[in-house]
């Protein structure tokens, strides 16, 4: 089978970490008999330098014609003073819109061998956690009506949270489908004690839940969810929530895992073409020094195999290789401790993962 993958390496460490993921995909393709064809496109600061805009039309067209997109990261101090419409980050929003990506999936789990890097109490970490945040990405308050007006006490500003039944139904289905591939439990997070949009959210999620009798569903208020993520993250399997609540909770969930260099993400829409990227930025402080941890991007590539190409065995193989390398004690600088004998660079960590992948039965 042939899969066309658009590579948007971006800025800073983007080219290093995407190259690592490509090597891992080539290894997995060789082992399982798949042909991954890669085409590079510019976006972010490098596109501003080359073409004068952060998201050239060729990049949009190329990504739309691909089976999926693997992105590194965009941005850096060089472009920090550009006007708003010419900021590298505009490329991300533009790509999400062009590919009509309405779901963001962010897994957060603890690697037992990296417990030391986790900020939670040892008795909480010992229970382990492996959760998936399903965040609505194109609706809610970030896209609602906004403005400034004269109020009773002078100038005031407003933003509007609005959700349609259609938007809630489609994100709920992503959550239930995702739960079916995991531990079959969905927690829907809202603020239904205060917000009318949350009451519609809750009603709709429960109506969709009837289509998935094998999956358990419950509700949690967002303030409680923020606490429970720290008190007992092991209680969560799949979490589904709105754009703004998901933005905040997914950052909290990634923080409790201990390392930003390990966390992958997927943005999905109505078609199989998704956008896969690490959650971290372009890390300009370590760019071009072979210091970046490639694992978040490698795990993003594994998500691409699972969610866009339905290649679960191949995704499992990549995830198992990463876990085995970490269990054996191999570390890049960001996850190294005083006990680490040898700190690996980005290229060497990639080789270790590929070795494990090729050795595994
Ligand atoms: P960052 O995530 O780039 O870096 C934060 C810290 O984490 C830095 O010390 C960095 O060295 C480290 N780090 C990040 N990824 C790492 C990895 N894979 N391996 C080892 N260490 C890693 O966040 P920042 O410094 O706030 O932002 C830098 C630039 O990235 C900014 O221009 C920002 O706008 C951009 N950014 C882009 C995205 C994206 O493309 N999706 C996301 C966030 C930030």
Token readout for 66 is 């691909």
Positive or negative: CA dihedral 102, 236, 212, 201? negative
pLDDT at 29: 97
Tell me the pairing of strands 130-136 and 238-241: parallel
What is the reported pLDDT for 361?
Answer: 63
Ligand 1: atom nearest CA of 296 is 18
CB distance 297 to 303 below 8 Å? no
Positions annotated as catalytic residues are: 142, 191, 223, 247, 251
**pLDDT at residue 118, rounded to an integer:** 84
Nearest to 108 by CA among 21, 221, 222, 236: 236
Pair 71, 10: CB distance under 8 Å: yes
The residues with which 70 forms a beta bridge, in sequence order, are 7, 276
Distance from the alpha carbon of residue 237 to the mean position of ligand 1, in angstroms: 27
Q: How far apart are CA 207 and CA 210, in angstroms?
A: 6
Q: Is the CB of 16 under 6 A from ligand 1?
A: no
pLDDT tens over the chain, length 361 residues? 899 999 999 999 999 999 999 999 999 999 999 999 999 999 999 999 999 999 999 999 999 999 999 999 999 999 999 888 889 999 998 999 899 999 999 999 988 888 877 888 989 999 999 999 999 999 999 889 999 999 999 999 999 999 999 999 999 999 999 999 899 999 999 999 999 999 999 999 999 999 999 999 999 999 999 999 999 999 999 999 999 999 999 989 988 887 788 999 999 998 889 999 999 999 999 999 999 999 999 999 999 999 999 999 999 999 999 999 999 999 999 988 888 889 999 999 999 999 999 987 6
Which pLDDT score, from 0 to 100, does residue 176 have? 98
CA angle (10 as vertex; 101, 94 as ends), nearest 5: 30
Single out the residue of 53, 220, 25 nearest to residue 131, CA to CA: 220
Task: Compute the distance between CA of residue 85 and CA of residue 146 in angstroms, rounded to an integer.
Answer: 19
| Residue among 281, 286, 297, 348 to mutate when testing ligand 1 (max atoms within 8 A of CB) | 281
Q: Whose CA is nearest to atom 44 of ligand 1?
A: 281
- Give CA–CA dist 132/250, Å, rounded: 9
Query: What is the position in ligand 1's atom list of the atom closest to the CA of 76?
Result: 32
Q: What is the pLDDT of residues 271-311, one digit of tens each?
A: 889 999 999 999 999 999 999 999 999 999 999 999 999 99
Q: Give residue 299's pLDDT.
A: 97
Question: Cα(first)–Cα(last) distance of the chain, in Å?
Answer: 21
How far apart are alpha carbons 352 and 66 in whole angstroms?
A: 29
Q: Which two tokens stand for residue 312?
A: 């679960």
Cα(279)–Cα(88) distance, rounded to whole angstroms? 16
- Does 281 contact ligand 1 (Cβ within 6 A)? yes
């Amino acid at each position: 089978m042939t899969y066309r993958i658009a590579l948007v390496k971006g800025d800073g460490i983007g080219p290093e970490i995407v190259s690592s993921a490509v090597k891992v995909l080539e290894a997995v393709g060789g082992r399982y008999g798949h042909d991954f064809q890669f085409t590079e496109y510019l976006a972010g600061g490098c596109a501003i330098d080359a073409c004068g805009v952060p998201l050239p039309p060729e990049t949009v067209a190329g990504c739309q014609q691909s089976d999926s997109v693997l992105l590194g990261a965009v941005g850096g101090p060089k472009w920090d003073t550009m006007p708003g419409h010419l900021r590298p980050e505009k490329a991300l929003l533009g790509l999400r819109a062009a590919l009509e990506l309405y779901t963001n999936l962010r897994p957060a789990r603890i690697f037992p061998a990296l417990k030391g890097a986790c900020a939670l109490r040892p008795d909480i970490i010992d229970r382990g956690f492996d959760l998936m945040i399903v965040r609505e990405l194109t609706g809610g308050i970030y896209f609602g009506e906004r403005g400034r007006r004269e109020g009773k006490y002078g100038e005031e500003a407003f933003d509007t949270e609005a959700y349609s039944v259609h938007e809630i139904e489609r994100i709920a289905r992503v959550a239930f489908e995702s739960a079916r591939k995991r531990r079959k439990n969905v927690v829907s997070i809202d603020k239904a004690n205060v917000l009318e949009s949350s009451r519609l959210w809750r009603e709709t999620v429960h109506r969709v839940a009837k289509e998935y009798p094998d999956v358990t569903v419950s509700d949690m208020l967002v303030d409680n969810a923020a606490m429970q993520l720290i008190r007992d993250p092991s209680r969560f399997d799949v979490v589904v929530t709105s754009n703004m609540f998901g933005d905040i909770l997914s950052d909290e969930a990634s923080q409790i895992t201990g390392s930003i260099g390990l966390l992958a993400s997927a943005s999905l829409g109505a078609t199989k073409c998704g956008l896969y990227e690490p959650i971290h930025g372009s890390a300009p402080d370590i760019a071009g020094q072979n210091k970046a941890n490639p694992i978040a991007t490698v795990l993003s590539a594994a998500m691409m195999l699972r969610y866009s190409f339905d290649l679960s065995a191949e995704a499992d193989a990549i995830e198992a290789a990463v876990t085995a390398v970490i269990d054996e004690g191999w570390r890049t600088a960001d996850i190294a401790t005083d006990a680490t004998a040898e700190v690996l660079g980005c290229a060497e960590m990639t080789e270790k993962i590929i070795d494990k992948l090729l050795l595994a039965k």
